[in-house]
Amino acid sequence: MTGFFWFVGLVLVLVPAVLAFYIFYYRRWQRQRIASRPFPDEWGALLNDNMVLYRHLPAHYQKRLQQLTLIFLHEKRFYGCGDLILTDPMKVLIAAHACLLVLERGLTHYDSLRSILVYPGAYQAQLQSIENGVHTTSDVARLGESWHQGKVILSWQNVLSDSQQLHHGSNVALHEFSHQLDQVNGAADGFPELSAGQSVKDWTRVFEKEFSDLREQVSRHHRASINAYGAENPAEFFAVVSEAFFTEPAILQRQHPELFEQLRSYYKLNPLQWCEP
């Protein structure tokens, strides 16, 4: 019996030690090792030719994006759906968009993300609802989804289109991966884990006001500078303004300066410094 308790005690000591070793040393060492690998020339050419946002980045951020992309590709699993045959260039382009969001925040924000499912184009997803006690299921066309269970779903046709041409305020990959960032501290609710030093009070005040203003504009059928889809709920609002932050920063900063500043502090980036007007 004494030996049994000794064994249990040893396990209770060793398991946390092994976990701590993996989290704080091995994983960090592995990521540093992968990031030190040369980024294939053909991948660099691919991003330069097919990712407008990559071309705008300063050289040091391009290098950082390449390193994060290598790690992302190593850690995440990609699956082609609807008969789509996924190629390395496809994976690289998707991974680069995901990593753009965490250039200064780090890949730990994607630790819960395990798989990326890619359809050739818009796909059908089931929407379940309950009205007057009646449960109904209907099919709706989707361009992308982000699940709290560590899964992102994307339409390749739209990822490529948004990547090759700067669609102001619209980028499906940035949209869905920003949902993953929102889900770091729980369900997507438009209140992600803020950066060190950010004020919860200021974030709440600015986002609640801007979300309310957008809903008012949409309800009155007024033209809004922020994508009307953001009026759906706070989670969609965060994803929509994240798209705008990277794809039309000048407009966002000019028309919604406080919102822009909150996002600048959150992402620790200022796209105005490298994006063309």
Domains of the chain by start residue, with CATH? 37-273 (3.40.390.10)
Q: Report pLDDT for 114.
A: 95
pLDDT above 70 (res 11): no
The mean pLDDT of the chain is 89
pLDDT above 70 (res 55): yes
Q: Report pLDDT for 130.
A: 60
Q: Residues 167-225: pLDDT tens digits?
A: 788 899 999 999 999 999 988 999 999 999 899 999 999 999 999 999 999 998 888 88
Residues 56-83 have a mean pLDDT of 97
First-last CA distance in the chain: 74
Written as six digits, the tokens of 10 are 């040893």
Residues 20-45 have a mean pLDDT of 85
Q: How confident is the model at residue 138 (pLDDT cuts 50, 70, 90)?
A: low
Alpha-carbon span 239 to 139, nearest angstrom: 23
Question: What 3-state DSSP class applies to 155?
Answer: strand
Alpha-carbon span 114 to 148, nearest angstrom: 11
Comparing CA positions, the residue from 85, 73, 70 lying closest to residue 38 is 70
Question: What 3-state DSSP class applies to 242?
Answer: helix
Higher pLDDT, 22 or 164: 164
Q: Report pLDDT for 276.
A: 59
Most confident of 1-10, 78-87, 221-230: 78-87
Strands 151-155 and 144-147: antiparallel
Provide the whole-model pTM: 0.86
Query: Helix 59-75 and helix 41-50: axis angle, to 10°?
Result: 110
174 close to 101: Cβ distance less than 8 angstroms:
yes
